[in-house]
Chain A
C-alpha cells in the first residue's frame, strides 16, 4: 500500500491522479485551502476505494506551516511514499505587467512555495533513501512568451529546481518527476477558448499516474506537447522575439 501526499489536492488534475491511487486502495493525505472542497474530494476518493483519506487545511504561502503539514502527513499513515505537488495559479499577465505585487504573488504561489515544499520533502526522502516526488510544472516554462511569461517564468523555476533535485537525488533512491502539462480544461483555464489542443484533466491524470508507476523523469502530457515544445524551443531568438505567441 502506498502513502500518498497531495498538495493542491482540490485541483482538477490532482484529483484525477488521486482517483487512480484510490482505486488501487492506497492511503491519501490531501492538502488544500478550502475545507469544503477537500471534503468533497476526500468523499469521492473513499468511494473510489482509498483505504484511508485525511485532509489538511493549508495555504501553501504559509511557509512556516510546511514542516507541520509534512509531520502530520507522516503521522497519519507513516512515511510518505509519493508526494505530488499540484497547486498553482495562472496569473493575469497584463495585471502582472502593471503591478509588481501581483507579479510577485504569482511567483510566490507557483515557485517559492513549491521550492520550499520540495526542499523539505527532498530532505525527508533523501534521509530514508526512497520515495517519489512529482511536481506539476508546465510547458509554459520551456520558453518565455509575451502572452504568458510571468506564469512561464514561475514554472521554469519549478522545472529547473526539480531537475536539479532529480540530479541530486538520483543516486539516493529518490525519484523526481517533472510533469509538463499543455493546456488542460480546468478551473484555471475556465476563461480561455477551448481549442483542439486542450486535454481533459482525466487524460492528464492518467498520464501522470502512469509516469509514477514507470518512474519517468520528465513527462509532457498529452505526449504531443513534447513535439510542439521541441519546435518552439528551437526557433532562433532573433525570429522568436517578433512572434506573437
Chain B
C-alpha cells in the first residue's frame, strides 16, 4: 500500500512505502523490524522534505492526540505528541494560559513543534519552543523508552529539540505555558518605506513589545525597495475576555490554476496590502487568532499555488553586515519578480535554545514563498543561498527543499555530533539529501545509559 502524504509546500512529491497510524502509546509496532527507515508525520505543515520519507515508512501520529495532565495553577501541560496547538489553545485560553511560543500556524503537533524547535514573533524575548519543554518520552527503535529532560538524558534531550524527528519517536511531552490577562492583543501597525526604517523600528520595539514581525513587499523596487508594515503587540491588559475562537472562515476548495499567481497579480496584491494602512501608524485591539494565525483563517491556503506547489525560503543572517546582506537578498528577489506576498522579516534575539540543531540565532530572519516554476525558481534559490552562505547565515530545515549538503554543514557545523544521536532506523528525505555523500556508517550509534527499560507490550 502506498499513499500520498505531502508537505505543506507540496514539493517535492514523494511516495512512501507504507503509512502506519500510531494510535496508542502502548501499542507501537517493533520499529527495528520494519524493512525501511521510519519517520513520524504529524500535520505536514513543514514545507519541504523534513517531514517526508521517500520509499520509507511514515508513522502517522495524529491519532496520538490525548492530553495527559494539566496543572492550571503552575501552567504545566503534558500531552501526547500528536496533540495540536489548536487543541491546546482551546483548552488553555479559557483558563488564562497561552503557548509560550507559537509559530504562524496553530495546526502543528507538539511533536512537530519540538522536532523543528519552532519560533514565533516573540523570539527576541522568549526564544524557541524547546526552551519550555520540561520533559518528553522518546521511543527508540530498539524498543527502549527514554525520559529526556534538561536534567535527565540531557544529550538526547538536546539532540531531540530541533532534531527533525530523527532521534526516535516522541510519544509525549510536557512544557510550561505563560499566563495571559486576555485573549486580545494590543497591536500597533507601522508602515515603513525602506529597510533602514525597518531596522530602526525593530530596534525601538525590541524592549517594549513582546511580539514583533514585519511584512515586507518583496516585489517593490527602486525607491520602494524593502517597504512594508511593521507589526508589534502585547497581550492586552484590562480586556478580561478569554475566548478561543477557532473556526476557519474560508477554505480553498480546489487547486488554483497555475496562472492565478503571476507577477502582475502578486504585485497588485502587495501594493494593495501595503496601502491598506491609511495612516503611517495604526493601533488596534485584535483577538489573538488573526494576530498570530492570519493564514489559518483560510483552510488549505497552500492550494493557491496549484498542483505545482511552492518553495519556501527562510534564512537567518547573523548580526554584523546583516543590513547590507538583507538588502541584497530583497533586491535579488524583487528583480526576479517571482515572490509571493507572504514575506516576513524579523529580528531574532539571543535567547539560547537547548536544541543542538536549533535554527534561530542572533540576526535577522527573512521568510517567503515562491510558486514553484522549475529551473527558474531553482536558479533564484541558488543566488539567494550564495548570498546567505557568504554572510555566514543559516537555513531552516522545516522550510527547506533546496539546501545542498554544503549549505547544511555550514548552517549546522555541529551536525556530525548530532548524527550520533540519530536513531539507526529513523531517516527522512531531508536527512538523506543533506548527508548525501557522507559516510555515516562509521558514526557510533548512541546508547542511552540503561535507566529505562523497554515497556512490555
* Residues of A participating in the B interface, judged by any CB pair closer than 8 Å: 12, 36-37, 40-41, 43-44, 47-48, 187, 190
B91 near A40 with CB under 8 A, answer no
Known A36-B26, A48-B91: A190·B66 in contact at CB below 8 Å: no
> B26 is contacted by which of A37, A41, A43 (Cβ under 8 Å)?
A37
Q: Tell me, yes or no, whether B70 is within 8 Å of chain A by CB.
A: yes
User: What would 10 A/B residue contacts be, using CB atoms closer than 8 Å?
Assistant: A12-B63, A40-B66, A40-B68, A41-B66, A43-B67, A43-B69, A44-B68, A47-B91, A48-B67, A187-B23
Query: Which residues of B lie under 8 Å from residue A41 when comparing CB positions?
Result: 66
B66 near A43 with CB under 8 A, answer yes
Min CB distance B105 to A, Å, is 19
**A135 CA / B70 CA spacing, docked (Å):** 32
| Contact digits for B8-33, partner A, Cβ 8 Å, 1 yes 0 no | 00000000000001011110000000
**A169 CA / B80 CA spacing, docked (Å):** 42
**A47 CA / B21 CA spacing, docked (Å):** 24
B70 near A47 with CB under 8 A, answer yes
**A47 CA / B80 CA spacing, docked (Å):** 12
Query: Which residues of A lie under 8 Å from residue B26 when comparing CB positions?
Result: 36-37, 40
A44 near B63 with CB under 8 A, answer no
Min CB distance A19 to B, Å, is 10
Query: Which residues of A lie under 8 Å from residue B79 when comparing CB positions?
Result: 47
> B69 is contacted by which of A37, A47, A187, A190 (Cβ under 8 Å)?
A47
CB nearest to B23 among chain A residues: A187
| Residue among A12, A44, A187, A190 with most chain B CB within 10 A | A44
Query: Which residues of A lie under 8 Å from residue B68 when comparing CB positions?
Result: 40, 43-44, 47
**A48 CA / B90 CA spacing, docked (Å):** 10
Q: Contacts A41-B66, A43-B67 given; 7 further ones with Cβ under 8 A?
A: A36-B25, A40-B24, A44-B66, A44-B68, A47-B70, A47-B91, A187-B63
Min CB distance A226 to B, Å, is 23
A190 near B21 with CB under 8 A, answer yes
Min CB distance B267 to A, Å, is 37
Interface of B is mostly: strand
Query: Which residues of B lie under 8 Å from residue A190 when comparing CB positions?
Result: 21
Query: Which residues of B lie under 8 Å from residue A40 when comparing CB positions?
Result: 24-26, 66, 68, 80
* Residues of B participating in the A interface, judged by any CB pair closer than 8 Å: 21, 23-26, 63, 66-70, 79-80, 91
Min CB distance A42 to B, Å, is 10
CB nearest to B66 among chain A residues: A44
Query: Which residues of A lie under 8 Å from residue B23 when comparing CB positions?
Result: 187
CB nearest to A43 among chain B residues: B68
Query: Which residues of A lie under 8 Å from residue B70 when comparing CB positions?
Result: 47
**A45 CA / B109 CA spacing, docked (Å):** 19
Query: Which residues of B lie under 8 Å from residue A47 when comparing CB positions?
Result: 67-70, 79, 91
Query: Which residues of A lie under 8 Å from residue B67 when comparing CB positions?
Result: 43-44, 47-48
Query: Which residues of B lie under 8 Å from residue A37 when comparing CB positions?
Result: 24, 26
Query: Which residues of B lie under 8 Å from residue A187 when comparing CB positions?
Result: 21, 23, 63
Query: Which residues of B lie under 8 Å from residue A43 when comparing CB positions?
Result: 66-69
The 4 closest A-B pairs by CB, nearest first: A47-B67, A44-B66, A36-B26, A47-B70
Query: Which residues of B lie under 8 Å from residue A44 when comparing CB positions?
Result: 66-68
Min CB distance A198 to B, Å, is 13
CB nearest to A42 among chain B residues: B66
Query: Which residues of A lie under 8 Å from residue B63 when comparing CB positions?
Result: 12, 187
**A47 CA / B92 CA spacing, docked (Å):** 10
Min CB distance A194 to B, Å, is 9
CB nearest to B79 among chain A residues: A47
| Residue among B25, B26, B79 with most chain A CB within 10 A | B26
A36 near B66 with CB under 8 A, answer no
**A40 CA / B91 CA spacing, docked (Å):** 17
| Residue among A36, A43, A47, A187 with most chain B CB within 10 A | A47
**A187 CA / B70 CA spacing, docked (Å):** 27
Min CB distance A1 to B, Å, is 19
**A48 CA / B70 CA spacing, docked (Å):** 9
Min CB distance B70 to A, Å, is 5
Query: Which residues of A lie under 8 Å from residue B91 when comparing CB positions?
Result: 47-48
**A143 CA / B224 CA spacing, docked (Å):** 68
| Residue among B24, B26, B66, B80 with most chain A CB within 10 A | B66
B69 near A36 with CB under 8 A, answer no
Query: Which residues of A lie under 8 Å from residue B24 when comparing CB positions?
Result: 36-37, 40
**A240 CA / B63 CA spacing, docked (Å):** 37
Min CB distance B91 to A, Å, is 7
**A105 CA / B292 CA spacing, docked (Å):** 52
Min CB distance A177 to B, Å, is 26
Min CB distance A216 to B, Å, is 23
**A72 CA / B69 CA spacing, docked (Å):** 26
Query: Which residues of B lie under 8 Å from residue A12 when comparing CB positions?
Result: 63
**A159 CA / B21 CA spacing, docked (Å):** 31
Min CB distance A183 to B, Å, is 16
Query: Which residues of A lie under 8 Å from residue B21 when comparing CB positions?
Result: 187, 190
**A72 CA / B189 CA spacing, docked (Å):** 60
Min CB distance B408 to A, Å, is 35
Min CB distance A53 to B, Å, is 12
**A12 CA / B62 CA spacing, docked (Å):** 12
